Amino acid sequence: MLFLSSFVVSSFLLVASVPIGNTGSHKPRTIPDHHGDVPLESLWAQFAPYTSAAPANKKYAVSSGCTINQVNLVQRHGSRYPTPNQNNAIKTAVENVQKVLPGDTVPEFKFLHAFDYPIKTDDAGNLTEIGKKESFESGQLQYSRYKHLMTGKSIFVHSSSIHRVQKSAEQWIEGVQTAKGWAQGDRIQSPKIIEKQPDEEAAAVVKTTYVNPWKKIYLPPIREALDKTLKVKLTNEDVYGLMFMCPFHTSMIREGDTSSKKLSPFCKIFTVDQFKDFAWQGALDKYYIGKSKYPSEYELSPLGYTKNLRTRLETSKESDIKFYADFSHDNEMAGIFNVLGLFRQKEDLSHEKRDDSSTYKVSRIVPFGTRMVVERLTCTSKPSGSKGKRSGGSIKDDSKEFVRVLVNDDVQPLEWCHGAKDGLCEVKEFIKGPK
């Protein structure tokens, strides 16, 4: 059976690093929207908006001879405002910087003189308009791919008890129903609410062991450089708050347009290299959260979810439920990915040095609105990569059940699955889990 290691929610205090350089010149340091072929959003770690991770030239397709008979979707809530604690810290940082800004400010900071902090206390932790749209568009996409499985009674939805997650589930349902145009009698039932379990103790371990040591390495140099540039004295928390505003304020000013490329002026304060440090802290956070132990086996934890997934994959094809949709959080999903042997690294991530060659890119693994889809397929002819049985010297292509996993549209190789190719793994092999 699937064995699991679970984990927990982490601290989200991300900051920038690396000296700003040429601090006396007051030259503009505006960063481009893209760094090479990589959007700036890819350096926002878990605070990045949803973007498909599939190669641009690769369209969604099902292997020849295979039919999907069950789908399991687990999805993170959409883009949100800062949580209450984050919001208080960021607002304080912005106001602290405004108080000490000299009148003759370098170009990247001039906007702060007339800037009114826009995030209301009542909005803290809730979905932005972008977040609502991300979930709605996900529902429309899933229906376009799996409409043969999606009638009102064939879809079962779970949601964490946290408000933004429930709203994401509701927006997803509306996306499906809008695409279908169902009559009232065929509507999807409201989500079953699963109480979110507390996990502060494990979060503190991750913060103390991995996050804080990295902050001590890269945060002081950027604070000192900003002090020189602005001729002021800031704190580490001030610097962190300014950088945090880049993704959150960007989500606000895009006003629900998921295709928008607008960037907050806060993004122009920092360099690409500093955002790489921002992203590395996110990588440390999610990588070690994914390997941590979760305090319980509730239904959306790595242990609880994977047990449910195993049970679902073993159910008869004649079951009434064909599509399971579970709405959760990035920490739980990082743990699920770890359990399933996804995004493995040759060695653990270092909290002393950034590794740009690492494939653990959080903006591609658990951005806002991230989704994992586990498809169960019946293949009547031998699909690419499977091993047919030999009978009298010829290949006998028995009908078999397979699993395919997609994370943010990208088919996962499941390299630990014996004989897997093109992402196809026999159900019985998948249920055993990675070694």
Over range 128-149, report the average pLDDT: 97
DSSP lists the bridge partners of residue 322 as none
Q: Output the pLDDT for position 80.
A: 97
Q: What is the pLDDT of residues 396-428, one digit of tens each?
A: 346 799 999 999 999 999 989 987 778 999 999
Q: Which DSSP category does 80 fall into? A: B
Contact (Cβ atoms closer than 8 angstroms) between residue 85 and residue 124: no
Over range 261-278, report the average pLDDT: 92
Over range 294-308, report the average pLDDT: 86
Confidence of residue 32 (pLDDT cuts 50, 70, 90): very low
Q: Does the pLDDT of residue 131 top 70, yes or no?
A: yes
Over range 325-349, report the average pLDDT: 96
Over range 284-308, report the average pLDDT: 89
Q: Output the pLDDT for position 182.
A: 80
Over range 318-329, report the average pLDDT: 96
Q: Does the pLDDT of residue 199 top 80, yes or no?
A: no
Q: Output the pLDDT for position 230.
A: 86
Tokens of 106: 């370098």
Q: How far apart are CA 21 and CA 6, in angstroms?
A: 42
Question: Among the options 238, 277, 285, 330, which is catalytic?
Answer: 330
Over range 223-238, report the average pLDDT: 88
| Active-site residue, 351 included | no
Q: Enumerate domains of the chain plus CATH numbers.
A: 34-432 (3.40.50.1240)
Q: Output the pLDDT for position 22.
A: 32
Report the candidate in 281, 298, 294, 376 with the shortest Cα–Cα distance to residue 338.
294
Q: Which DSSP category does 24 fall into? A: T
Residue type, 297: E
| Active-site residue, 122 included | no
Residues 6+ apart with CB under 8 A from 362: 45, 46, 48, 279, 282, 283, 285, 286
Q: Output the pLDDT for position 336.
A: 96
What percent of the chain has pLDDT above 70? 87
Q: Output the pLDDT for position 6.
A: 34
Q: Does the pLDDT of residue 385 top 70, yes or no?
A: no
Q: Output the pLDDT for position 297.
A: 78
Question: Among the options 35, 77, 163, 356, which is catalytic?
Answer: 77
Q: What is the pLDDT of residues 140-198, one digit of tens each?
A: 999 999 999 998 889 999 999 999 999 999 999 999 999 998 876 788 999 999 999 87
DSSP secondary structure letters along 375-423: EEEEESS--TT--PEEETTEEE---EEEEEEEETTEEP--TTSTT-BTT
Q: Output the pLDDT for position 9.
A: 31
Q: How far apart are CA 407 and CA 182, in angstroms?
A: 28
Rounded to 5 degrees, what angle do the CA atoms 427, 430, 434 make? 170
Q: Does the pLDDT of residue 33 top 70, yes or no?
A: no
Confidence of residue 117 (pLDDT cuts 50, 70, 90): very high
Lowest mean pLDDT among 223-232, 255-264, 365-374: 223-232
